[in-house]
Amino acid sequence: MSVLIIAEAGVNHNGSFELAKKMADVAKAAGADIVKYQTAVPELVISRFAPKAEYQKDTTGEAESQLEMVRKLHFGFEEHRQLKEYCDSIGIMYLSTPFDMDSIDFLAELDMPVWKIPSGEVTNLPYLEKVAKLGKPVIMSTGMCEISEIKDALEILEKNGAGEITILHCNTEYPTPLKDANVKAMLDIKNNFGTAVGFSDHTLGLEAPLAAVSLGATVIEKHFTLDKTMEGPDHQASMAPQELFALVESIRKTEIALGDGVKKVTESEAKNKDIARKSIVAKVPVKAGEVFTEENITVKRPGNGISPMRWYEVLGQVAKRDFSLDELIEL
């Protein structure tokens, strides 16, 4: 089964429905399986006292509050309904992460085949219960989480009827320093819970997600933008379109390179066996009736004669005919 690639549009459309559609076009053209957005009623998500994250201050300034910033980045439910229809029409799966209870109710009407729980909601018990009771498969990011917190969230999801659960390792610094990506933590999650695992990546570049694929990730999620220079909190930590294309291509090539894990001779290399391997040959001219010894036989290429693995079987036997220098020995 191929790695599921989620192209995370997030709020990089800056509240523009037309930009959101263009992002769906780019994700489709790049070969992503899913384009993911965020659905929220800002006043239900963020209190007027909530501060901005440092990276948000760096990218959008300190004059406005987090609530004021987020209000500009979201559009309404009706636009999301139309966006879902648009994604269906171009053949890419629409997915949106809800950030409040009303948004869960709305997205449930769209009958999404899978639900995405963001890192910030892992400790939100009422939210987890509500998503779980929909009975659909769940993909849960775990940025900022300890194993114990993931355990608690997983128990709530399972207790309340969630479908198949995939847990994504994640670091929620934007961008994430490569030294903090800690991709192997994905294996810690798998060893603890036995679920399918993946990686929601906020590093710059391809190295971390490709490492995750090599370690068995079933889902890769990555932010992208139409233009890194646009105003907004996430653009600078997101992939440009050409980088998204490169990521999808690299993941698919990595999957091919990983293969089926069974050690065997491949069709492409089989023709080289006789070229690279060696056979037992005459070290010097050998006359019929002579005994094969270490003085008159040796090992050289090509490998289409008697294998050197039969060396001690050949030693001591008698030559049935003459052999010239380097000729393949026959018994």
For the segment 288-313, what is each residue's pLDDT rounded down to a tens digit? 999 999 999 999 999 999 999 999 99
- CA distances for 206 relative to 110, 166, 222, 223, angstroms: 33, 22, 10, 12
Question: Could you tell me how many residues make up the chain?
Answer: 331
Tens of pLDDT along 114-141?
A: 999 999 999 999 999 999 999 999 999 9
Distance between the two ends of the chain, CA-based, in angstroms?
Answer: 50
Q: What is the pTM of this model?
A: 0.91
Residue 89's pLDDT is 98
> What residue ranges of the chain have pLDDT lower than 50?
none
The answer for 205, left when phi > 0, alpha when psi is -120 to 50, beta otherwise, is left
Residue 172's pLDDT is 96
> Domain locations in the chain?
4-258, 267-314
Residue 1's pLDDT is 80
- CA distances for 5 relative to 67, 221, 296, 310, angstroms: 30, 6, 62, 51
Question: Distance between CA atoms of 151 and 193, rounded to whole angstroms?
Answer: 8
| Residue 249, token pair as written in the block | 């291509």
Residue 67's pLDDT is 87
Identify the DSSP state of 65. Answer: -
Question: Distance between CA atoms of 259 and 220, rounded to whole angstroms?
Answer: 18
CATH number of 4-258: 3.20.20.70
Closest CA to 305 of 280, 322, 284, 285: 280
Alpha helices (runs of H) in the chain, residue ranges in sequence order: 17-30, 42-45, 54-60, 66-71, 77-90, 101-109, 125-132, 147-159, 185-193, 207-214, 241-258, 267-270, 273-276, 311-314
Alpha carbons within 13 angstroms on the beta-carbon side of residue 87 total: 27
Residue 69's pLDDT is 87
Place of tokens 């391809």: 206
Residue 29's pLDDT is 98
Residue 262's pLDDT is 98
